[in-house]
Structure 1
Amino acid sequence: MRGVVFRGNRELEILDFEDPTPGPDDVVLEIKASGLCGSDLKFYRDPPEEALKALGFKDFASRGLTDIPKIVAGHEPCGVVAAVGSNVDASAFAVGDRVMQFHYKGCGVCDPCRTGWTQMCVRGATIYGATANGGHANLMLAPASTLVHLPDEVSFSAGAAIACGTGTAYGALRRGGVTAADTVVISGMGPIGLSAVQFAVAMGARTIAVDISDEKLATAQRFGAHEVVNSGTTDPVEAIRSLTGGRGATVAIEASGAPVARVSTTRALARWGRIVLVGLGGGIELDVSPDIVIKQISILGSYTFSIVGMRECAQFVADHSIDVDALFTDRWRIDDAAQAYVEFDKQTRGKAVIEF
């Protein structure tokens, strides 16, 4: 098989590997689509050791990570089952099944693992595309327990998006308890924010999109956002209060990770509002009494989603005919992976995917 390997310092290679053979509890996937995600850029830009440290992996040798640079990248895999191990129940997964892969594996016995949150495993999680071979290859070895069936109505590329970024947006909205009674502000119109717009609209919520790019805000409008606010030219707090009759939004999804956006989005909430922090990195500095306590604001963190949530997201997409494929501005082949990441690194376009 052939796979993309990050070398760090904005360098990558396409290397040849032996084709994988499934162990008793494994499957081999024939990858059809593998998404590019913003968190991939940490590994693309930085030396692998530094990127892993940022994820909390500090003791590489004890985890068998002695040859870090030769791990196949890509943590949004989607494809077809090509081979199954001897212990895999044929009624669960069979050759030819269309599947997404949940890109985490834990110990399987701790409470987070038993509830489908294997990325929060108390003994440490394997992360496919970071600490184990991922989806930027034509074949991928994965435990059958990490697979989720892909509805027939959903394309492979859409399934790849659901496997991380789009699924993360869905998980954040569920974490915030969004219903049709809510006015939702979504800050940051990258792929996660735009997905959140699509889902919030489908959930019946009044949806306000916030970004500093008029182009991205125009996309949000095409995706159904009821109002848009350019926070680079307008005070977003005042704009949102004006749009809501002075009350503020009931829910906010902060997907940009920018400290200034976290502050303004929190301050744009109505009394008893709730904000879900999705974007990674950076900090937040609020005046606790007026910004949080007196208004009784709830601040929630949302880290990707559970494997159960991934299945729910895919079914929601199918049931509501959500056009996840509209997120993609760039579709690449594996031979063009170097150029794909050069363009993706600029962070000026939308979602990108490698298709096989």
Structure 2
Amino acid sequence: MAAFGSLSDRLADTFDRLRGKGKLTEADINVAMREIRMALLEADVNYRVVKDFVTRTKERCLTAEVMESLTPAQNVVKIVLDELTELLGGTESKLVLSSRIPNVIMLVGLQGSGKTTAAVKLAYMLKKQGKSPLLAACDVYRPAAADQLATLGGEIGVPVFRGDGVHPVEIARASIREAVDTMRDVVIVDTAGRLQIDEQMMQEAVDIKRAVKPDQVLMVVDAMTGQDIVNVVSTFAERTDFDGVIISKLDGDARGGGALSVREVTGKPIKFVSMGEKPDSLEVFNPERMAKRILGMGDVIGIIEKAQEAATAEQLASAERMLRDGFTMDDMLEQMKAVKKMGGM
């Protein structure tokens, strides 16, 4: 997970020094908290978020229960894991769809945040779950935005509604009628963004929301956005009252601190993270698993789930046959193909 690579390394070094101490003193805790503070700030986490995080963590670490235990360093790591999990949202926040047909999901965010690709990835995920999504191309300003959506939608077999290609609110409204006429049960509305927040963009998002009454409004946030993410998400939260966040480009070389700030600043949960370019690279966000990844503890459950997704019924039958009759070169080829489906190491 490249986005948090530097942060993970810094925290690992801090914990290694603590483990080498055996018994910890208050001075040791103060030094560790100072290093954690610097690591988070260098990762571009909002300074107010860092201050509150370190204060809470330090208070818990200085209790007699930790300081006088036989394994104080391990307890400190556990406390940092707990606080980091809480910072990221505590528990998994799933996409909530209503019983109405069609359900409407509206995506908002700045231009370049990855809204269009996020819309396609979300459509792909819902299609795999047995839904029949329709993509609505409401970005009429960015050159070839509708063409991009149509191309990507075609690759995953999801239709794209373009309407008159001129009036975003009317396109969004007409996409609902199109979904009813073509028996589509989910409409994903891809709205326009700007390079920075402006009144026209915000008002258009408000008007589209009023017109289609979405079941979920999701804001797409680029993991590479730094401190400015606080102003951006706060403004969108105030004007569109979005329900959750999709963090895009988390596989890039960004420091990732913006993503750690979102939940604390807005109170809105992170629902999905995008870990690559392919349609299947959108993952449901799990705060505890993400915290463990950042702290270098790995995500064994996530790996198991990916393996289960990659294994076809035929491959499972092949595995049973191997146990009975032995392992052939054909079996080896099938295993390698299954591992490749799971993504990069």
Q: Normalising by the residue count of structure 2, what TM-score does the alignment of the two structures yield? A: 0.36
Q: Which structure has the greater CA radius of gyration?
A: 2
As a proportion of its length, which structure holds more helix?
2
More relative contact order, 1 or 2 (CA 8 Å, 6+ apart)? 2
Q: Normalising by the residue count of structure 1, what TM-score does the alignment of the two structures yield? A: 0.36
As a proportion of its length, which structure holds more strand?
1
